Each structure stands twice: as structure tokens, then as C-alpha cells.
């Protein structure tokens, strides 16, 4: 997976250690870890590092989940910051669970958009995948199609990959994108027609192939999605 190239970016290994310590029973250790994470939010590479940790081999499940939660919260609250909050006191907060506001630089946005679907296919836990799908929906709301023109191509590539995890990730992303547009007024659904015309014709064949060729939990989830 690609990484952020900013020289001032945080170290994913240090962030990993901090996230693991947020479960530490020692109050001082836990508070120090949370303080580091709150500070890390303000640095380049924060969201990219979280995305890397979500799928990093050997990372404990609870840390992967914590990374995915922080990633989803960071994106949903900060991908587009309301003008009323840009200079708010909530911009920096000492609470790891707070709705603090932070800027996301352009390079991090590109890396996250280019790697979200791949991360969904690599994630081993259902809850993590669904959190990443929420990230897709939040970014799609603000960036598709102008700033995320290859989202549809990424979904199509996953649908046609023949690999169950990739197909499931693509379907999960597609489901969120369609849900997003179905919630819009009819006069704002032009992009939905393009998505449907490109994806739905291959879904029947995909489901038939999955049913006949794959025997796994992921295959069942593909059909049920």
C-alpha cells in the first residue's frame, strides 16, 4: 500500500504502539498514549498511517478496529470542515474520542482515496471492512466524481477480479455509493445512472460465478450484500 511522502509525517510504528496502549489498564500509560494520538491528528500522514495499520499483518484485532474507528471518525468529521468549525476551540482537544477538527492535506487525501478499496479487500474482520466502507461513502459525498474520478474504475476492477475478497470489497463500496445517491433528490442522481449502467450488467454473472466456484463465508456475504 502506498504511503504519504511528507517529511514531517508521523511514524506508523509509533502510532501503532500508542493505539495499543489505549487499552492499557495503567491510567498514566493510557493517557499518554491518547495524548500522542490527539497530537498526531495535526500532523501529515495521520490518516494514511491509520489506513496502513488497519491491514498491517500481525497487528492485534483490537488495534486494527481502533485504527479503523479513528480513520472513519477523522474522515467523517474533517474531510470537509464546516466554516463555522475551522477556527473553533474544538480544533484541538485532549480527548481521543472528541470531535476535534484537523486539516487533511492534499497528499493524504490522494493516498487514502487510492488505497481504501484495496484495504477493504485485505481487511480480515467484517467490522473493519464496514468501517472502511463508511469512509468510502463520506469521501464519495464530497469528492466523486471531480476529485475521485477513478472510484468507479476501482469498483469495476474489484467486481471483475474473480477474487472473493476483492469482489466483496467492491460490492460493499458500491452498496454505500448507491445508498448515498438514492438518498439524494431525483434531480441530483445523474451520477447514479452512470454507476448503475456500468456495474449492474455484470452483477448477475458475478453472483452466478460466486455461487458455483466459491465456498466461503466471504462468498456468502457477496451474495447477501
First to last CA, the chain: 26
Model pLDDT, residue 101: 84
Span 145-167, pLDDT tens digits:
999 999 999 999 999 998 989 99
Q: Specify the DSSP class assigned to residue 88.
A: S
The per-residue pLDDT for 208 is: 74
pLDDT of residue 6: 44
Contact present, 79 and 138 (Cβ < 8 Å): yes
Residue 205 CB coordination number (10 Å)? 11
Burial class (CB in 10 A: 0-12, 13-18, 19+), 50: buried
pLDDT of 7? 45
Q: Work out the average pLDDT over 17-36.
A: 94
Amino acid at each position: 500500500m502506498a504511503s504519504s511522502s511528507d517529511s514531517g509525517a508521523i511514524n506508523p510504528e509509533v502510532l501503532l504502539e500508542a493505539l495499543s496502549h489505549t487499552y492499557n489498564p495503567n491510567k498514566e500509560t493510557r493517557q499518554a498514549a491518547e495524548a500522542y494520538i490527539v497530537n498526531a491528528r495535526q500532523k501529515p500522514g495521520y490518516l494514511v498511517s491509520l489506513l496502513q495499520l488497519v491491514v498491517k499483518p500481525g497487528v492485534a484485532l483490537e488495534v486494527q478496529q481502533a485504527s479503523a474507528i479513528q480513520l472513519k471518525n477523522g474522515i467523517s468529521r474533517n474531510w470537509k470542515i464546516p466554516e463555522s468549525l475551522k477556527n473553533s476551540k474544538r480544533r484541538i482537544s485532549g480527548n481521543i474520542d472528541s470531535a476535534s477538527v484537523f486539516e487533511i492535506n492534499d497528499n493524504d487525501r490522494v493516498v487514502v482515496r487510492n488505497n481504501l478499496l484495496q484495504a477493504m479487500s485485505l481487511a480480515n474482520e467484517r467490522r473493519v471492512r464496514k468501517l472502511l466502507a463508511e469512509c468510502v461513502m463520506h469521501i464519495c459525498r464530497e469528492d466523486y466524481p471531480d476529485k475521485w474520478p477513478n472510484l468507479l474504475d476501482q469498483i469495476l476492477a474489484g467486481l471483475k477480479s474473480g477474487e472473493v475478497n476483492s469482489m466483496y470489497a467492491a460490492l460493499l463500496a458500491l452498496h454505500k455509493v448507491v445508498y448515498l445517491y438514492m438518498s439524494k433528490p431525483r434531480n441530483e442522481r445523474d451520477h447514479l445512472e452512470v454507476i448503475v449502467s456500468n456495474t449492474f450488467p455484470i452483477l448477475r454473472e458475478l453472483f452466478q460465478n460466486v455461487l458455483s466456484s466459491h465456498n466461503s463465508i466471504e462468498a456468502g456475504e457477496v451474495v447477501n450484500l
